[in-house]
Structures are given as C-alpha cells and as structure tokens.
Chain A
Amino acid sequence: MKYLDEYRDAAAASKLADAIARTVTKPWTIMEVCGGQTHTIVKYGIDEILPEQIELVHGPGCPVCVTSLEMIDRAHAIAARPDVIFCSFGDMLRVPGSRGDLLSLKSQGADVRTVYSPLDAVNLAAANPNRKVVFFAIGFETTAPPNAMAVWMAHKRKLTNFSVLVSHVTVPPAMTAILEAEGNRVQGFLGPGHVCTVMGYDEYEPIARKYHVPIVITGFEPVDMLEGVLMTVRQLESGRAEVENQYSRAVLRAGNEHSLNLIGEVFEICDRKWRGVGLIPKSGYKLREKYRQHDAERLFEVENIETEESSVCISGQILRGLKKPHQCPEFGKRCTPQTPLGATMVSAEGSCAAYYNYGRHLAGISLPVLAGGAS
C-alpha cells in the first residue's frame, strides 16, 4: 500500500456513491473547506456522481486566494529592494497585487525565488550573509509548523538576515464567519484533513454543537471525499451534528503535539483580513515578540499602500458558499487564470480557477468520472 492510488480506485468510489444515493432522502448543502478538496471534486467530477439532492459548495480554504491585497503589495515593495532575496512558494508569484505580480517584478530584475520549503530559504540566508532573505510565510495551520520551524532554526543559527512576511490564516474562525453570515446555506462541512493532522479536531466540537452542523474531517483523494460525504449525509439524515474523523490514517484527535508546541512558541493569534471576505477576528497568526528580529513587516516599513479590488468580482460570495463560479458574468470571459479579477481565480486551488482549468466554463461539457482511477 502506498496510500495514494488505492484511494483513487473507481470501483471503490462508485460503491460509496451508491451508498450515498441509498442514504439520502432530502436536499442537503455541504461545504468542503479546503481548496485542495475543491480541486479533487472538480478534477474527478465527484459532484457529478453524487445524487442531485446533494450540493457541494466550495469554501475559503485557499490561502493564496485569501491573502489580502495589502499583504501582496507589501511583498511586492519588499521584493523590489536591491538588498533583498525574496522567497516564496510558487503559487504566490502570479497573484496580482495593485502594482503587478512578483513574477513580473522578477522579470524586471528583482531577486525573487521560488522555494519548495521554507527551510530552503533558511539555508539560502546562511549561504548569503550579505543579503537579506525574506520568506513570504502564507498558509493555513498545515503550513504553520514548517514556517515556524524556519523561524526557529534561523533564530537558533543566529541568521539575522532571515525574516518572514507572515500572513497566516486559521480555519475555525472562517467556518464560524460563514455560519454566522446572512443567507448562509451550509448544513454540513467536510473538515480540512491536513489542517487537522497538525491541530487535531477538538476545536471543531464547539462549532458543531453551537450551530448544529456535522463536521467530518476528510482526506483529499476521491475515495476519502466520498466517504466524507457519506458520513456527513448519514449525520444530516439522522439529525446528528458531531465531529467525525474520516481521515483517521493521518489525523489524531489531539493533532501533532510537537507541531502545536512549536506553533505556540513562534506564533500568537491575531486578527487577519481575508481577501474577498474582510477582517475576521482572531483568524491569523503573527510572530511573537521574541522573534521580532525575523519579522519582515517590522524590518521593512512599507507605507502608503492603497489597494483597489475589481468591482464586478463575486469571489467574496463564492468563498462563503453563496455562489458558484459559473454564476459570475465575467467567469471565463474577462476573468481567467491568466487575467484574474479576484481571489478565487488567482491560485490553481481557488474555486474559479479549478472550474476553469477543468473546463467547467464550457457549456455542455461532459467530464470523465474517475476514468482509470489514478491521475
């Protein structure tokens, strides 16, 4: 077992879809929180093999999409400095800020580099003592341990030329914001499997209780997602609202205690502005005082950031599950992955980009459903 292809098996997926069809008696709206899960749904056509009573709506779990325009403009201003090596995950380079994206800045001569891991950026700082290495630390809780480890290691190795521009976001406050919003349609959640490998799932219990919504912590492969939907539908049909763990091969109730300790050591909770949604209280991480010498926001003061978002983009409603990408008049027309107008089209994991990349903007297209299993 290699824990990948087995969970893309077409026969197993089809059996689970049959079990869902036998269980469902009423219409239900279920949100998958994570952008990676949205990607799986659209790629494998999971929404198309579900009974029509079940609607999947796509959540805000794409950190590239929800990173605020101000933060992208700040990254742009820091990366433009001649003394800086600016490092980022590849996804962030194409995200348009008010003054263009980081990739075009690189083409103009700025030293912008894609790194596979934040730990690579730490090694880059060690190898370039005369340059300032800045890492764009974005992500949900999943990415918090590696980013925290990079800061902790740089601090320990006394690499004062290493800093991070932190724009971390956390899932539970965003779920609460969705449930509190006027016109909310979400009746159950597929919870974010990889976030919970780190955090565990105790913090979802109060949400399930308070709003009476089932939350099923779910993995990212087609078989995982269909089992997650089946578990959610069983709860909805029987009137239960509990936290269940579909992704038990990787998620423990208590999460990873080493990771939780390191996150607590390096980060503290702060309010965070989400692109397309607005300010969500206590929904982010920032660096603790102890690590201020590695805080790019303090080291490089950037002022007079004025941002402007598209007035036609409906990504805010899409991120809250109120609308689908194809309900936007500009989807696939003025707004494409090459010319994104807003948050959900900027990253491959954004709902709009996923719909576009798998041809959902083309009328009458029929998608292969789990053809051949593995991709």
Chain B
Amino acid sequence: MCLAIPGKVVQKYQEHDVLMGKVDFSGVTKRVCLEHVPEVEVGKYVLVHVGFALQCIDEDEAQKVFDFLKSMDQLDEINEPQASP
C-alpha cells in the first residue's frame, strides 16, 4: 500500500491551478501531481505514490550504498593475505 515507484519527469503543466506532470516509468507514462515537488526539473526522478510525487530522488545519495560496497571490496583486497613470492 505504501508502494512508491521512481519515475522520470517528462513534462510539467498546470491543471486547475495545481502543478501536474507526465512521468515515465520505464516506458509507461502516467499523469502525476507534482504540487509537492515544485522544484523538480524535467529529466529528473521523483518517487510516486498513487499518482502523487512524494519526493525528488537525490542522485548523490542514491550512489552511496554502491560507494560503500566498493570501499568494502577495497578493504577486502587490503586484508587478503599476500601471496608468497
């Protein structure tokens, strides 16, 4: 029920004085209310729940878990016992 899906904003427009937009979900485009993410730019991603954008997706923060995993890999390499000559 609290399902929210990321989608890419492809258009912004006003309808009955409310900010609306077209949002692309991997090829499926839906009408979405953008009133609570007014700063979002076309081409950026928003998190959408029941036809309503709850929040913009922060690109830098989205990368963090993968940076963390990469740092774990580097740590593993350092910790691995050196092969004998």
Contact = CB atoms under 8 A, between A and B. Distances in A.
A154 B64 CA distance: 41
A248 interface: yes
A103 interface: no
Interface residues of B, number: 38
A145 B72 CA distance: 39
Interface in A247-268: 248-252, 256, 258-259, 262
Interface in B31-85: 33, 35-38, 45, 47, 49-52, 54-55, 57-59, 61-66, 68-69, 72-73
Nearest to B24: A2
Given A4-B6, A116-B50, A118-B50, A63 B33 contact: no
B77 to A, nearest CB: 13
B38 A2 contact: no
Contacts of B58: 248-250
A29 interface: no
A322 B9 CA distance: 43
B45 A117 contact: no
Contacts of B8: 2
B49 A194 contact: yes
Contact of B66 (A12, A36, A194, A250): A12
Contact of B1 (A139, A146, A248): A139
Nearest to A223: B65
A143 B36 contact: no
B33 A198 contact: no
Interface string A116-141: 11111000000000000000001110
B57 A146 contact: no
A156 B51 CA distance: 19
B4 interface: yes
A197 B35 contact: no
B49 A146 contact: yes
Contacts of B63: 1
Contacts of A258: 35-38
Contacts of B51: 116-120, 146
Nearest to B1: A63
Contacts of B30: 116
A34 interface: yes
A305 B4 CA distance: 34
A194 B54 CA distance: 8
A64 B16 CA distance: 31
Given A4-B6, A12-B65, A223-B65, A143 B50 contact: yes
13 contacts: A4-B26, A61-B2, A64-B1, A89-B50, A116-B30, A117-B33, A138-B1, A149-B18, A149-B33, A197-B4, A224-B65, A250-B55, A250-B58
Interface of B: 1-6, 8, 16-18, 26, 30, 33, 35-38, 45, 47, 49-52, 54-55, 57-59, 61-66, 68-69, 72-73
User: Top 3 nearest A-B pairs by Cβ distance?
Assistant: A117-B51, A146-B52, A249-B62
